[in-house]
Structure 1
Amino acid sequence: MTIGTQMHQTLTSLEGAVADLKTYALQTEDKNAKKQFTDYANQLDSIAQGLKGRVNYLESQEPQYKVFQKAQQPQQQ
């Protein structure tokens, strides 16, 4: 597994965690919990955005790490 694939997996996990935290914030009626979940979601989203920038940089410097481009290319037989 390449570093590009690993970074994309980490980014996907972070984005999933952000979505979960936002869902928790919507589901709770406790104002303190709602604020905490929202704050945590915002913090993780900031981290995810930073990682996304790093992934974009990596892919621009090392095109072979472009995970989604590879996945879309037809397989050669």
Structure 2
Amino acid sequence: MTVGTQMQQAIAGIQSAASTMKTFALETQDKQAKQQYQQIAQDLDTALKTLEKRNQYIQSQEPQYKQQ
């Protein structure tokens, strides 16, 4: 498994987790839980942006890692 493939899997996993937290935030009536889910989703979105930038860097530096 290439670094590019592993990075894509990590990005997909974080996207999924962020979406789940956003769904939980929408579905709960508990205000404290809603805030916690929203904060987790925001943190995951920040991590996602970091990984996406890193993925772009990897692809620019190492063309062999680009997804086919």
Match of 1:28 in 2: 28
The runs of at least 4 aligned residues of structure 1 exceeding 3 Å deviation read none
Structure-2-length-normalised TM-score = 0.97
Identity of aligned residues (%): 46
What displacement does 1:23 show? 0.1
With normalisation by structure 1, the TM-score equals 0.86
Give the structure 1 partner of residue 46 of structure 2.
Answer: 46
Which one has the largest radius of gyration?
Answer: 1
Say yes or no: does 1:37 pair with 2:37: yes
Q: 1:21 Cα deviation (Å)?
A: 0.2
Partner of 1:15: 15
Letter in 2 for 1:20: T
Q: CA deviation at 1:57?
A: 0.3
TM-fit CA distance, 1:64? 1.2
Counterpart-to-counterpart distance in 1, 2:46 and 2:66: 22
Tell which has more relative contact order, 1 or 2 (C-alpha 8 A, sep 6+): 2
- Count of aligned pairs between the two proteins: 68
Gaps of 5+ in 2: none
Distance 1:64 1:27 in 2: 43
Counterpart of 1:3, as a letter, is V
Q: Which amino acid aligns with 2:64?
A: Q
Deviations 1:29-65 (A, max 9, x none): 0000000000000001100110000000000111111
Q: Distance in 2 between matches of 1:12 and 1:64?
A: 20
